[in-house]
Amino acid sequence: MARALLLALLLAPALGAASLPEFDLARAMPWRPALFAQARDTQGFPHP
């Protein structure tokens, strides 16, 4: 699902939808890179 969100954001300027406030809001969200910056645990313990 995250892959589809990123793809939609990348294609937004090409489709002429970059002026929509929804896309500007989504691009300005500061927590999106943090979704991919979390370390993966391999033993089932929650990440601190």
Specify the pLDDT at position 6.
Answer: 73
Specify the pLDDT at position 30.
Answer: 57
In a domain, 10, yes or no: yes
Q: Which domain holds residue 38?
A: 1-43
In a domain, 34, yes or no: yes
Specify the pLDDT at position 19.
Answer: 57
Q: What string of DSSP letters covers 8-31?
A: HHHHHHHHT-TTSHHHHHHHT-TT
Specify the pLDDT at position 5.
Answer: 72
Specify the pLDDT at position 17.
Answer: 47
Specify the pLDDT at position 8.
Answer: 73
| Residue 36 Rama label (left phi>0; alpha psi -120 to 50; beta) | alpha
Task: Dump pLDDT digits (tens) for 1-46.
Answer: 778 777 776 766 655 544 555 656 556 665 555 555 556 656 666 6
In a domain, 48, yes or no: no
Structural domain tally of the chain? 1
